[in-house]
Structure 1
Amino acid sequence: MLNRRDILELEIEGIINASGENIIVTDGEGKILRAVKNSEEMYGITSEDLVGKSVKDLEREKIFNPSVTLRVIEKKEPVRFMQKTGTGKIIMTHGIPLFDEDNKIIRVISFSHDMTEIEELKSEYEKLQQKMKIYKTEIEQLRDKSMIFNGVVIKSPKMKRVWELVNRVARSEATVVLEGESGTGKTIFARALHRGSSRKDASLIEVNCGAIPHSLFESEMFGYEAGAFTGANTKGKIGLIELADKGTLFLDEVGELPLSIQVKLLKVLQEKKITRMGGNKSRSVDFRIVAATNRNLEVMVKQGTFREDLFYRLNVIPISVPPLRERKEDILQLMNFYLESFNKKYMSSKVFHFSAVEAFLNYNWPGNVRELENLIERLVVTLEQEKISVENLPFFQKEHEEISTDINEYKFLKSSLQESLEEVEKRWLLRAFRRCKSTYEMAEYLGLSQPTVVRRLKKYKIDSKTN
């Protein structure tokens, strides 16, 4: 008949084996006293072979790697971590110390769960997530490409609003004035207005009002009859306005129109008739007019350099195209678009270094998209190396030359190092103040916090009155 000790032993053995847990019990020195029956599957060694062995030896043999029991003995507190066994299993193991009345460890019980399948699933999930990121990036790149129209990126909120307005207005016959700095893409929007109109199958006649000499303007715009003046074509010539019949006449840089031509253009717009130079026969013309300017026509009206009646005739629907510095979300897509385009054109394989990308994003682009396009073409054509870095950018080189000049200029003029440093700091602040639109932009440009920028502006008394 079993005694109470034997029954207790059987109970413990039954609980351990029925629990489904991988349980190992050691003494206070790390010698294994008891192990669960399925230890071979987990550790590659039977329970019988585990009993009596030291966890130190088993750790050395990489059967327990590392041993939770040893960590419990070292720290004298419960320990939990991931463990790799000799069979390649990944397990979550949890060790618990048992103390006697003298606070000495007499037993360590460790519980282990096989996490191999879960870790494999986790690994597969991470791979799937990585694939999803790649697919997302590819989709975004395709979407970004679909947002580029002949070099104009339609991604930033400002450009989206412009593009939506252009598409809405294109279907009408209303006269449009595109306003904005040089190089912002006004010509491309003018072409979009023509393509979206009912006149798209007829001609779009583009006239750069600033490129035609004043003495030739009338003959170019209105044409002339045979023998109208000395040197004229014996057959006469059709003017640009007449060529736009049934189509669209695009007057780029309309602020450059001579006043004498403004009077005649206004008459054509009112009567829809034209008379060639040297002729007396009027011809009916039917065209839609789109104008573009980088000048403030209202100011020109006040100055008397642009006719008020022509201004109101043209300014039916003004559309303002924002400069690149106000839509920096578009810069990266423009960079990639032009780099890909010029790489293909010149059979090159240039790439941007991240430092160049950062410099492009932080630069103010006074020449707008045209400046960016021209710079990338220059870099693709002239650089020998494939990687375009910040040191290759002319505005980066110029800025650092200016800083070096400032430092050299004030290096020996000041009586102390502190004064010299303050002068250089002031020069930096002045440069940022002139280039940036807010103290937040200045902070980003200078690598300082916004409150610091505000304090130093006050310190050096830099404000809108500062030269």
Structure 2
Amino acid sequence: MDPAMDDLLKKVKHLEETNEQMRTIINFSSDGLYVVDHRGITLEINKAYEEMTGISRDEVVGKNIRDLVFVEYFDRSAAYMALKSKKTTTIMQKIKKRKYFVATATPVFDSDNSESREVKMVVTSVRDLTYLNHLQNQIREAEQNKESQTEHASTHHENSPLVFNSSEMKSLVEQAKRIAAFPTPVLITGPSGTGKEVLANFVHQYSPQKDQPFVKVNCAAIPPELFESELFGFSGGSFTGARKEGKPGLFEQADKGTILLDEIGELPLPMQVKLLRVLQDQAVTRIGEVKPKRLSFRLICSTNQDLRELVYNKKFREDLWYRINVVHLPIQPLSKRTADIPPLIDYYLQKFCSKYYLDKHISPDTLAILTHYPWPGNIRELKNIIEFLVVSTPSDSISPRDLPDHMKDNGRFEFLSLDENREGDGSIMSEQLNLKETMALFESQKILSALHSSKSIRSAAKLLGIDHANLIRRMKRLGITYQPKDS
């Protein structure tokens, strides 16, 4: 045999053995792994990737990642981004238009020389976002069970703090603190996503009952036929299928604590009559029993509906409305308290960077766009958008081009980026903000930019030309939090 041919066959055999070894190694990983070469050609995927995505090895090996994006195997490719940037890239990726995954693409270089090195291949680790959320929920539940000696299935503790800077919210929170010490009923109103449950928990935490149960009831989620048994409980054998030992209702579980009736406007009229009786007597009678049980609880109700209009249309009892509307705490939509947007963005940015072990910051241009966006979904929408930006932006800096299309193209919202509409002092003029809000927005932008460019508050203060104590006072006033980059 020709020595050259013999040498070539040995090399081919060695390459096949190496590939087989690599395939064996990556199949041990519980994460999905996707490997491409320097041109973007798919070299290998492991079994975990096949199982979680439904894509077989034969479908993609040997094909260019860009072609696979074009035929919509993926909505975009972390590996392709990593090839272009030569940096580790993390995105949220939709595969086969069905499920979302967190994909982290890590380039492998041909040498250690930072000046001349080229990408040899890219290894992408893929994790099922649904499964990650499931694991996080299990961990959270385990921690709650460990911390709580007595945990009711319906007891809910909202850990999100009240983050605000607007005069409207400052006044509302002060009022909530004042009335928290008294056992009077409270009605919290406001559009969906404004934080009504968080405010309800705030009232509970400032009340004398703060160490007692805080029970949340979603009136819109309970079928009408189960309302009475869920709220008031039942005795053993009171109806077919009832537990022998019976079951305490949600009002009993809230005894000596606080009960939140969320979406109170969804309560059926027959149940409104029975609820009114419970509130008048401070007692409940289980189904199948005749003797009432005396209770002591703090009632908080919340709704995104206009209860006056429901009363006028005979869909809500007027006497019940008077009973629950002793103290009214109305929360304005986020579009009417613009000063709260920068501190909320900063809070959720720090939260999700810490959660996903990432280090991202929002550019001043992007912060200005986010501040002027109308936020129809309020804080709930803001939280989801910030999480999306943290996991999907390939670079450390979140720029306007990273925003979702509906935010960039929203017809109700005309805005030019700082690069296109920059005034002499770098501010953006808007008829939507008054002078005080505009100054607060500009100050927040400058401080956040300095913090993200510095290793400490002290160095940020030096960059801004003010002393350390002055910067801390300004951050406290604007509701800006700081987390060191290496923490």
* TM-score (normalised: structure 2): 0.51
Which consecutive unaligned segments of at least 5 residues does structure 2 have?
1-158, 415-429, 436-487
Which residue does the alignment assign to 1:185?
Answer: 195
Which residue does the alignment assign to 1:57?
Answer: none
SS at match of 2:395: coil
Q: Deviations over 1:399-419 (max 9, x none)?
A: 37999xxxxxxxxxxxxxxxx
Cα RMSD of the aligned pairs, angstroms, is 2.3
Letter of the aligned partner of 1:396 in structure 2? M
Which residue does the alignment assign to 2:284?
Answer: 274
Which residue does the alignment assign to 1:229?
Answer: 239
What is the aligned counterpart of 1:331 among 329, 341, 345? 341
C-alpha distance in structure 2 between counterparts of 1:375 and 1:223, whole Å: 40
1:199-210 paired onto structure 2 within 5 Å: 199-210=209-220
After the TM superposition, list the runs of 4 or more consecutive aligned residues in structure 1 that deviate by more than 4 angstroms. 400-403
TM-superposed deviation, 1:375: 0.9
- 1:348 counterpart = 2:339: no
SS at match of 2:236: coil
TM-superposed deviation, 1:208: 1.2
1:41-440 paired onto structure 2 within 5 Å: 150-394=160-404, 395-399=406-410, 440=431
Letter of the aligned partner of 2:257 in structure 1? G
C-alpha distance in structure 1 between counterparts of 2:336 and 2:413, whole Å: 25
8 Å Cα contact 1:151-1:338 kept in structure 2 = no
TM-superposed deviation, 1:243: 0.8
TM-superposed deviation, 1:355: 2.1
SS at match of 1:153: coil
C-alpha distance in structure 1 between counterparts of 2:326 and 2:266, whole Å: 19
Which range moves more in the overlay, 309-318 or 374-383?
374-383
SS at match of 2:261: strand
8 Å Cα contact 2:164-2:343 kept in structure 1 = no
8 Å Cα contact 1:350-1:388 kept in structure 2 = yes
TM-superposed deviation, 1:254: 0.9
8 Å Cα contact 1:390-1:396 kept in structure 2 = no
Higher relative contact order (CA 8 A, sep 6+): 2
Which consecutive unaligned segments of at least 5 residues does structure 1 have?
1-148, 404-438, 445-467
8 Å Cα contact 2:164-2:344 kept in structure 1 = no
SS at match of 2:244: coil
TM-superposed deviation, 1:443: 12
Letter of the aligned partner of 1:178 in structure 2? I
Over the matched positions of the two proteins, sequence identity in percent amounts to: 43
Letter of the aligned partner of 2:398 in structure 1? I
TM-superposed deviation, 1:398: 4.0
TM-superposed deviation, 1:389: 1.6
Q: Deviations over 1:20-76 (max 9, x none)?
A: xxxxxxxxxxxxxxxxxxxxxxxxxxxxxxxxxxxxxxxxxxxxxxxxxxxxxxxxx
C-alpha distance in structure 1 between counterparts of 2:329 and 2:290, whole Å: 38
Cα–Cα, structure 1 residues 400 and 254, in superposed 2: closer, same or farther, change >3 Å? closer
* TM-score (normalised: structure 1): 0.53
